Amino acid sequence: MTSLGPIAGWTSRLKFAVEMTLANPLVTYVVCGSGRILIYNDATAAMLGSMHPHALGQSASTFFTAARAVMEPLYDRAFTGEAVRIDAQSVELNGKERPRAFDLVMTPIGEEGGRVTCVQVTGFDVSGRLAAEQERDRTVEGLRASEARLRLALDASRMGVWTYDPAASSFGVDARAAEITGVAPGEALPASSIWLAAHPEDRSLLQARLADMLDPQGDHWNEAVARFVHPDGTERWTQARAHSVLAGEGSQRVALRVLGTILDVTESKKAEAALRQSEQRFRAFVTASSDAIYRMSADWTELQRLGDRGILADRPVQTGAWMDRYLRPEDQPTVRAMIAQAASAKTAVEWEHRVHRADGALGWVYSRAVPIMDECGEVREWLGTASDVTARKLTEEALRESEKRFRAVANLGPNFLWSSDPQGRATWFSERWYTYTGQSEVEALGYGWHEAIHHEDREPTMARFFSVVEHGKIFSHEYRIRRRDGSYRWFLVRAGPIHDEAGQIAQCYGAVTDIDDLRKLQERQAVMVDELQHRTRNLLTVVRSIAQETMAQTGPTERFRAQFNDRLAALSRVQSLLSRSDQTPVTIRTLIQAEFDALGPAVMQGRVALEGPTVSLRKGDVQTLALAIHELATNARKYGALSNDQGELWVSWDSYTDETGKSRLALVWLEEGISPAPERRNGYGRKLIEQALPYALRARTSYELSDAELRCTIDLPLK
């Protein structure tokens, strides 16, 4: 016996579907009937693991909960007779095992009458294939990124790339290498075209270096500095580096390919030549333009001042204790370490340090010393210059203190402070920006700050920025900025340009202020004002209508005053509810309960039943609907189910979605055991229900009164 009934009672097609399922080596199961009952084979049982055999004969929705939202609509389609296929469906077995991916094929199985009674589902496990594809995609993406980084590095270094194929005796040169050498770019250029482009004096050098790399016993990493002559006669100095790719062992070892780079060093060679030709003039220029010139012994013990302009304190011309005389004690260890490093490396040394000035004050100098070498390559002496940088150091210190104070003040305030260039590229943000957005400095600078701006606001913001800054005006704009938790808040940004000496905009500085709460308050205030005005106008209209209708029925009598006051009291109650609606929405139950409470507590004792879910009403509908409920309740008390001891009253309601997809409220007011006075039920209340509600609230109403009961329905939109 199964949940589908005795097997003997199964149809032949169901039995056949089950037999085919059990015989299938793939993951296969049958979903039967409206209950989606599961019958599956051994492969499915193995996949279910600990859920087998509990899942057998149970609803598929119970066990495939994670995929229910996807699978249920597919089952529905299959049960209509449609063959369904879904690719790479992830199956999570209630979180107990790693998800697996299947291509699923759903085959509807119908009876002779055409009605589909079950659906056979066959699964093809594609988890391995998808994992392999993902790994392949990651590998390809990594290769692309690596190629992009290599290309960026080559572009940044201005290097060209070339190759040599020994078998074909051909070169391959990229666009940059072709630009440097003056040949056409290509993948298989004859070697002769490269040799012809090489300077005649350097051609043999290049050929010899290449031959050395092709020799199995030669140097397989090599470089050469040589000239190439362009078709227009221009000579370019180049520096080429290369290595050969070898294959085989021993005597069978051969070079398969040579890979190399080439760099244009023309300017460097010109600079070297100029430096050699004008060394004496350069030294003279340095001496003439320096504030102080000195010579130092090879071991830095003897100082000889060649002349200064009153920078250093007056000391003997030659001294072996120059460091103690001119430098502060706390600075000497650093200076000694730098000198020792320069002496060991025989390289120039430069540093900034404090000195005793000729005026007795403590000043700063920038010192640079270069070694003068003898014929043996040893340092003979050091020649140095010292420039007075006291004013600059004081200015830098003042700027640092100013910057420190500025940053402290900037980070104390609630605003975000920033600076940018005239193109809107951010150059600085206060710490508040990084704390709020969660961006790092690297992520935010440049145009990275755009990522924190709401996508709808980015283009208008930049358009406004360029329009205002172009004319040198103050920039003011409101836009949304994403907080680190992903939410957005409204901010006001104000910025102004800073001009350089030429009158051009050099920088823009601005402040960003959080105005989200202010905007919400302003929006709420506007809504409240509109609502108040609307309610007031409606209230005056309602009061006028009440007075006219009541007077039309009673005349200016005591009865008029009683009914008029009664209806005004109903309006007062609903206004009380509306005044609290911002904190607690007005529901249909609250509205009805308020009217029965006004009639007295005895009314509700066993005679009135209210039934329905919590349904919030639109503020604009509450007042008119409350008057209708008031009229029904008042008439029930005077003439209806509550006017005697036998009557009963039921009020029920529910919300639903109509054929257009809009939410509506359906309310039924039913009285039984009413007093036989139908002529008293054709007054203001009935007109309000049958005429005012359809007009004001777009409601659909009915009002059916007989000798024994009253049935009233109100159906109105909720949004």
pTM over 0.85: no
Structural contact between residues 508 and 422, judged by C-beta atoms closer than 8 angstroms: yes
**Residue indicated by tokens 């940004």:** 493
Q: Which sign does the torsion angle of CA 666, 667, 672, 674 carry?
A: negative
Q: Does residue 262 sit in the same domain as residue 283?
A: no
pLDDT at 669 over 90: yes
Looking only at the bridges linking them, the beta strands covering 700-705 and 709-717 are antiparallel
Provide the 10 A C-beta neighbour count for residue 547. Answer: 14
What is the C-alpha separation between 543 and 341, in angstroms, rounded? 99
Average pLDDT score, the chain:
80
Please give, one letter per residue, the 3-state secondary structure of 222-265. Answer: EEEEEEEECCCCCEEEEEEEEEEEEECCHHHCEEEEEEEEEEEC
Q: Which of 391, 412, 442 is the last residue of a domain?
A: 391
Tokens at 261, concatenated: 């780079």
What is the C-alpha separation between 623 and 546, in angstroms, rounded? 13
Who has greater pLDDT, 480 or 393? 480
pLDDT (0 to 100) of residue 317: 43
pLDDT band of 309, cuts 50, 70, 90:
low
In three-state secondary structure terms, 267 is helix
CATH (domain of 218): 3.30.450.20
The answer to whether residue 343 sits within a structural domain is: yes
What is the C-alpha separation between 562 and 634, in angstroms, rounded? 12
Q: Does residue 620 sit in the same domain as residue 666?
A: yes
Q: Does residue 371 sit in the same domain as residue 471?
A: no
Least confident residue range of 95-104, 106-115, 306-315, 696-705: 306-315
Phi, psi dihedrals of residue 25, rounded to the nearest 5°? -75, -15
pLDDT (0 to 100) of residue 520: 85
In three-state secondary structure terms, 425 is coil
Least confident residue range of 38-52, 289-303, 643-657: 289-303
What is the C-alpha separation between 33 and 3, in angstroms, rounded? 10
pLDDT at 545 over 90: no
Instruction: Count CA within 13 A, CB hemisphere, residue 565.
Output: 7
For the chain, the domain total comes to: 5
Provide the 10 A C-beta neighbour count for residue 713. Answer: 16
- Per residue in 120-136, pLDDT tens? 888 888 877 877 777 77
- Per residue in 32-52, pLDDT tens? 887 888 888 888 888 777 778
Who has greater pLDDT, 474 or 698? 698
- Per residue in 5-19, pLDDT tens? 777 778 777 878 888
To the nearest 10 degrees (0 to 180), the angle between helices 588-599 and 619-638 is: 30
pLDDT (0 to 100) of residue 416: 85
Structural contact between residues 693 and 701, judged by C-beta atoms closer than 8 angstroms: yes
Tokens at 104, concatenated: 């699923």
pLDDT (0 to 100) of residue 571: 60
In one letter, which amino acid is 397? Answer: E
Tokens at 188, concatenated: 């298989």
Q: Does residue 422 sit in the same domain as residue 545?
A: no
The answer to whether residue 294 sits within a structural domain is: yes
Q: Does residue 118 sit in the same domain as residue 180?
A: no
pLDDT (0 to 100) of residue 229: 93
Owning domain of residue 362: 278-391
The answer to whether residue 147 sits within a structural domain is: no
Of 624, 637, 648, 600, the closest CA to residue 698 belongs to 624
pLDDT (0 to 100) of residue 95: 47
What is the C-alpha separation between 453 and 95, in angstroms, rounded? 37
Work out the average pLDDT over 588-616.
83
- Per residue in 501-539, pLDDT tens? 888 888 888 888 888 888 888 778 767 756 765 665 566
pLDDT band of 562, cuts 50, 70, 90:
low
